[in-house]
Amino acid sequence: MSVQEGNGRPAEGVSSQIAGFLATFAMFAALAGLVYYPGRVDTAAVLVALIAAGIQGFQRGITTFAVAFAGLCWFAGMVIAISLERPVF
């Protein structure tokens, strides 16, 4: 008789991995939105981060961080665009 030892972590499904990739993509897009049309890019990054959080749930740190990070980058991008008189959209 053998007993399988687990590492104590539940197995993650494919949806968790996809949500992680979406959250990572949203963070990189949010950074790009700081220098390139924050009205378009950062808004899309926030939406992608929210979709990732909807898939994963807010229990995981990466999706929660992605939503907060994209929101902060959206705000900072808007402030930078307005203060430097660059186009927002």
**10-residue averages of pLDDT along the chain (89 residues):** 58 82 95 92 95 83 93 95 89
The pLDDT value recorded for residue 16 is: 86
The pLDDT value recorded for residue 9 is: 57
The pLDDT value recorded for residue 61 is: 86
- For residue 32, being part of any structural domain is answered with yes
Collapse the DSSP code of 65 into the 3-class scheme (helix H, G, I; strand E, B; otherwise coil) and give the result.
Answer: helix
| Residues of the domain holding 45 | 14-83
- For residue 33, being part of any structural domain is answered with yes
Instruction: Give residues with Cβ within 8 angstroms of 39, minimum separation 6.
Output: 78, 81, 88, 89
CA 1 to chain CA mean position, Å: 45
The pLDDT value recorded for residue 8 is: 56
- For residue 7, being part of any structural domain is answered with no
pTM for the structure as a whole: 0.81
Q: Which residue has the tokens 């992605």?
A: 66
- For residue 51, being part of any structural domain is answered with yes
Q: How many domains does the chain have?
A: 1
The pLDDT value recorded for residue 88 is: 84
- For residue 88, being part of any structural domain is answered with no
